[in-house]
């Protein structure tokens, strides 16, 4: 009967461990204690009821009585099927990626759970109380496994790091372009790649591979001797990380997008964000090149500590070396002229939308011009820029037009997305869970976002009752109709609500931000 009880617990442990490994992975394997902080904020998700009941039974030495074994096993069956049903119903946007690291962690987790079972069998004493305690504390078992595996992960990491460094050393003609900033890194990287690819062979780091692991993987798996440029997106949650990436990959060129409040919670201050992002530019060699934004006060006010040549881009500030003017935006894209240092002006056309994308395109044009690309090559490159997935991407869905701006919303991007929505002729609907990781400014920025939404939208669907409270307050303070606000906890319900509105004319839906699964609110 004891064996039956243990066997019944195994599938439950499997599902629970898979769920918590998913949380660990989305929290970057507890970088900056993100995993532990998530657990403290979501204590109901961490604790499970049944193992606690069984632990109490064990504590009072009731487990060995046969009548209680039947009760325990029966409870396990009921609870397991309840939990399995709940687990299957959870909406997972990004599933757990079963990487080699996850496999190594899984082996460690299995060993931890086997220890009390082996002790019970060998010593013939009741160590099952430890086994059920570990089930109660599965969240911490995952944390412990992650700590235990640190030496192994360091060995694995150093192996692949040395492999990447060795590969780079054998490619002396390859030049590395680093891109960082609070917002727009991925967009800037993809845009630069599209422009340079008219003339050069480029390898951009895929998707949002912007950590040491991601960039090392990119070099080892994708970089080849035919590449002229490696475009490396560089992300960070605290000071020193960009400098570490630069020391490893040695970029000759650097582009700084926009410095803002993203990850303020982990950087602790705007000054730290500013200094952290400028680590890229200050790591460039004297024969390199930095591209900065003259419209960004955090870049203009910074006192650069190296003598690397700088090209300033801008839109509003005409003191920039290269700036955009005569901008025309419509539903099909944007047209604008670019003024160069030699006073020539060239017309560019793009399918992209939004002012932030003009900055990203300007950075690409500036670098292409530095490389002596012709005006026609630059124009062709800009015209060939592909819409970037989940970044003001226009999609047709049934009778609706979706403006997909779901990736990593921030105050600047969110406002620009609303400006784009405002250009559309028809019903305008905003679906959003708001913005996160803005530190002490999170409430105020989301409140301002709610106020701005009220000026543009006809209907609003808020995803997550708790996290969207400041947006709701902003809408209410602007006297936005209560009947036109819906609050849900599952984004998939949004389209059911929109269908039920039975709107007659063209409908535009702005999907602004799509939070990771760890921020889902469940009832």
- List, for residues 43-84, the tens digit of each pLDDT value: 777 766 555 555 555 555 544 454 555 555 555 555 555 555
Q: Cα(351)–Cα(31) distance, rounded to whole angstroms?
A: 37
Q: Cα(217)–Cα(211) distance, rounded to whole angstroms?
A: 10
- Read off the pLDDT of residues 264-298 as tens digits, 9 standing for 90 and up: 666 778 888 889 999 999 999 999 999 999 999 99
Better-predicted residue by pLDDT, 7 or 465? 465
pLDDT at 83: 56
pTM for the structure as a whole: 0.80
pLDDT at 5: 62
Helix (H), strand (E), coil (C) string for 167-200: HHHCCCCCEEEEEECCECHHHHHHHHHHHHCCCC
pLDDT at 57: 55
- Decide if pLDDT at 381 tops 90: yes
What are the structure tokens assigned to 515, written together?
């939070």
Tell which CATH architecture fits domain 393-519.
Alpha-Beta Complex (3.90)
- Decide if pLDDT at 127 tops 80: no
Res. 378 pLDDT band, cuts 50 70 90: very high
- Decide if pLDDT at 21 tops 90: yes
pLDDT at 62: 46
pLDDT at 518: 47
**CATH 3.40.1190.10 location in the chain:** 160-383
- Decide if pLDDT at 145 tops 90: yes
Q: Which strand ranges, in their side-by-side order, compose the sheet holding 345-350? A: 202-204, 229-233, 175-180, 253-256, 289-293, 310-314, 322-330, 333-339, 345-350
**CB-based contacts of 460: which residues, under 8 Å, 6+ apart?**
429, 430, 432, 453, 471, 475, 480, 484, 485, 486
Res. 178 pLDDT band, cuts 50 70 90: very high
pLDDT at 495: 86
- Read off the pLDDT of residues 295-312 as tens digits, 9 standing for 90 and up: 999 999 999 988 899 999
pLDDT at 263: 65
pLDDT at 248: 94
pLDDT at 64: 47
Read off the pLDDT of each residue in 120-137 and give the average, rounded to a whole number. 80
- Decide if pLDDT at 426 tops 60: yes
- Decide if pLDDT at 394 tops 50: yes
**CATH 3.90.190.20 location in the chain:** 393-519
- Decide if pLDDT at 158 tops 80: yes
pLDDT at 350: 95
CATH number for the domain running over 160-383: 3.40.1190.10
Mean pLDDT of the chain: 86
Res. 26 pLDDT band, cuts 50 70 90: confident
Read off the pLDDT of each residue in 373-394 and give the average, rounded to a whole number. 90
Read off the pLDDT of each residue in 327-336 and give the average, rounded to a whole number. 87
What are the structure tokens assigned to 235, written together?
């992300």
Q: What percent of the chain has pLDDT over 70?
A: 86
Give the Cβ contact number of residue 499 at 10 Å: 12
**Any idea which of 2-6, 336-340, 347-351, 452-456 has the lowest mean pLDDT?**
2-6
**Any idea which of 91-100, 174-183, 412-421 has the lowest mean pLDDT?**
91-100
pLDDT at 27: 86
Res. 134 pLDDT band, cuts 50 70 90: confident
- Decide if pLDDT at 519 tops 60: no
What are the structure tokens assigned to 339, written together?
């003024």
- Decide if pLDDT at 313 tops 70: yes
Q: Cα(408)–Cα(172) distance, rounded to whole angstroms?
A: 36
pLDDT at 76: 57
Cβ 464 vs Cβ 519: under 8 Å:
yes
**Any idea which of 23-27, 165-169, 297-301 has the lowest mean pLDDT?**
23-27
- Read off the pLDDT of residues 224-237 as tens digits, 9 standing for 90 and up: 989 999 999 998 87
- Decide if pLDDT at 377 tops 50: yes
Beta bridge partners of 175: 229
Q: Cα(427)–Cα(386) distance, rounded to whole angstroms?
A: 27
State how far the alpha carbon of 293 is from the alpha carbons of 237, 258, 279, 298, 453, in Å. 21, 7, 16, 9, 27
């Amino acid at each position: 009967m004891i064996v039956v009880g243990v066997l019944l617990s195994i599938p439950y442990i499997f599902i629970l461990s898979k769920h918590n490994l998913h949380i660990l992975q989305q929290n970057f394997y507890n970088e900056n204690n993100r995993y532990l902080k998530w657990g403290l904020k979501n204590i109901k998700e961490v604790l499970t009821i049944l193992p606690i009941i069984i632990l109490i039974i064990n504590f009072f030495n009731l487990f060995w009585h046969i009548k209680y074994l039947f009760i325990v096993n029966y409870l396990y069956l009921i609870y397991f099927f309840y939990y399995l049903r709940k687990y299957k119903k959870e909406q997972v946007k990004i599933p757990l990626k079963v990487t080699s690291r996850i496999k190594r962690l899984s082996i460690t987790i299995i060993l931890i759970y086997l220890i009390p079972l082996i002790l019970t069998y060998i010593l013939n004493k009741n160590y099952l109380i430890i086994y059920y305690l570990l089930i109660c504390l599965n969240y911490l078992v995952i944390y412990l496994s992650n700590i235990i595996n640190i030496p192994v992960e360091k060995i694995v990491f150093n192996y692949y790091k040395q492999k990447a460094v060795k590969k780079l050393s054998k490619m002396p003609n390859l030049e590395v372009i680093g891109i960082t900033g609070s917002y727009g890194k991925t967009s800037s990287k993809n845009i630069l790649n599209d422009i340079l690819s008219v003339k050069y062979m480029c390898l951009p780091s895929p998707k949002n591979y912007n950590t040491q692991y991601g960039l090392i993987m990119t070099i080892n798996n994708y970089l080849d001797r035919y590449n002229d440029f490696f475009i490396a997106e560089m992300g960070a949650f605290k000071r020193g990380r960009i400098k570490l990436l630069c020391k490893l990959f040695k970029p000759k060129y650097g582009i700084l997008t926009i410095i803002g409040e993203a990850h303020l919670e982990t950087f602790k201050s705007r000054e730290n964000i500013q200094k952290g992002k400028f680590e890229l530019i200050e790591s460039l060699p004297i024969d390199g090149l930095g591209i900065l934004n003259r419209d960004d006060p955090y870049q203009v006010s910074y006192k650069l500590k190296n003598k690397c040549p700088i090209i300033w881009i801008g839109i509003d500030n005409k003191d920039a070396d290269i700036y955009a003017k005569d901008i025309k935006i419509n539903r099909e894209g944007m047209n604008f002229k670019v003024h160069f240092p030699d006073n020539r002006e060239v017309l560019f056309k793009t399918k992209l939308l939004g002012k932030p994308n003009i900055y990203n395109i300007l950075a690409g044009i500036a670098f292409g011009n530095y490389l002596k690309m012709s005006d026609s090559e630059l124009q062709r490159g800009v015209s060939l820029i592909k819409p970037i997935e989940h970044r003001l991407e226009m999609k047709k869905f049934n009778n609706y037009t979706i403006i997909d701006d779901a990736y990593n919303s921030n105050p600047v991007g969110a406002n620009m997305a609303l400006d784009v929505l405002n250009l559309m002729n028809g019903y305008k609907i905003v679906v959003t869970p708001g913005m996160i990781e803005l530190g002490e400014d999170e409430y105020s920025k989301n409140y301002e976002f709610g106020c701005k939404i009220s000026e543009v939208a006809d209907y609003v669907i808020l995803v997550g009752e708790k996290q969207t409270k400041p947006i709701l307050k902003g809408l209410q303070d602007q006297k936005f109709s209560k009947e036109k606000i819906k609050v849900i906890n599952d984004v998939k319900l949004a389209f059911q609500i929109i269908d039920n509105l039975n709107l007659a004319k063209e409908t535009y839906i702005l999907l602004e931000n799509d939070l990771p699964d760890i921020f889902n609110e469940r009832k």
